Amino acid sequence: ILNVEQSPQSLHVQEGDSTNFTCSFPSSNFYALHWYRWETAKSPEALFVMTLNGDEKKKGRISATLNTKEGYSYLYIKGSQPEDSATYLCASNTNAGKSTFGDGTTLTVKP
Amino acid sequence: GAGVSQSPSNKVTEKGKDVELRCDPISGHTALYWYRQSLGQGLEFLIYFQGNSAPDKSGLPSDRFSAERTGGSVSTLTIQRTQQEDSAVYLCASSLSFDEQYFGPGTRLTVT
């Protein structure tokens, strides 16, 4: 993996469904992995930052895991609600400091 | 405390004119990024400043684009001879070196 990649590109689920998406990143020179939530007509806001292999973070119904050895992170949303509809971005920091974003996963939750 | 601010919030300009977009980062943040979001697209990296190091300009789409960061604080993104394809929302973000980025509200640029 040379760049930060996210999958799927978009996802449509029904209210109440649980869902997850993936962020893959270069494992060499890794320092930190960030997840952001980007709602339409707003600016991205940070959800989580993770640095250690095996890290798990949780905020309400949203949680994330990190595997630095294989270079991936999962974001999980339990019991999706329409207000969860947004684009979820991940960004990887190398030990040089610069943060690189993936293209995002756009989640649409239908009532 | 104050967040990242950007000005103007909206800018309409004629094709061929130069524009300057301003970003005031959070005080003490050493890193500053410029991105843009074209209609229907994702976040496109433009340029990255980190402390006193030379900026990473690898995302600038053409030599019509340039940016400065004066005194390690305020940054200005300049677009010369604007084209219609430059129409986008331009976002600025700042952070401590390895920390999460805090985004400004963006400048919506429309080139007519």
Q: What is the Cα–Cα distance from B17 to B15, expressed in whole angstroms?
A: 6
> Min CA distance, B89 vs chain A (Å)?
10
Does residue A43 belong to the interface with chain B, where contact is any CB pair within 8 Å?
Answer: yes
Query: Contact at 8 Å (CB) between A107 and A88?
Result: yes
Question: In this model, does residue A9 exceed pLDDT 70?
Answer: yes
Average pLDDT of chain A to the nearest whole number: 93
Reported as a single tens digit per residue, the pLDDT across A70-111 is 999 999 999 999 999 999 999 998 877 788 999 999 999 999
- CB count within 10 Å of CB B76 equals 14
Residue to mutate among B37, B44, B101, B102, with most A CBs inside 10 A, is: B101
Segment B81-107 shows an average pLDDT of 93
For chain A, the residue count is 111
- Tens of pLDDT, residues B13-35: 999 999 999 999 999 999 999 99
Query: Are A32 and B33 a contacting pair at CB < 8 A?
Result: no
- Interface touch A43/B104, C-beta < 8 Å: yes
Q: Which residues of B touch A91 (CB under 8 A)?
A: 101
Amino acid A28: pLDDT: 87
Which of B43, B95, B106 is closest, CB to CB, to A89? B43
Tens digits of residue pLDDT in B38-63 = 988 888 999 999 988 899 999 999 99
- A13 CB within 8 Å of a chain B CB: no
Query: Is residue B1 scored above 90 in pLDDT?
Result: no
B69-86 residue pLDDT tens:
988 799 999 999 999 999
Window 70-109 of A: residues touching B by CB (8 A cutoff) are 87, 89, 91, 93, 97-101, 103-104
If you average pLDDT over residues A49-67, what whole number do you get? 96
Q: Which pLDDT score is estimated for B52?
A: 86
Q: What is the mean pLDDT of chain B?
A: 93
In this predicted model, what pLDDT tens digit does every residue of A15-36 receive, in sequence order? 999 999 999 999 888 899 999 9
Instruction: State the pLDDT at residue A109.
Output: 97
* Contacts with A, B 22-81, CB within 8 Å: 31, 33, 35, 42-43, 45, 48, 50, 56
Write down the pLDDT at residue A94: 83
Whether residue A63 is predicted with pLDDT greater than 70 in this model: the reply is yes
Reply yes or no on whether the pLDDT at A1 is more than 70: no
From CA B101, how far away is CA A93, in angstroms rounded? 11
Does the CB of B96 have a partner CB in chain A at under 8 Å?
A: no
Task: Count CB-CB contacts under 10 A for residue A65.
Answer: 18
DSSP assignment of chain A: --S-EEE-SEEEEETT--EEEEEE---TTEEEEEEEEE-TTS--EEEEEE-STT-EEEETTEEEEEETTTTEEEEEESS--GGG-EEEEEEEEETT--EEE---EEEEEE-
What are the beta bridge partners of residue A63? A58, A76
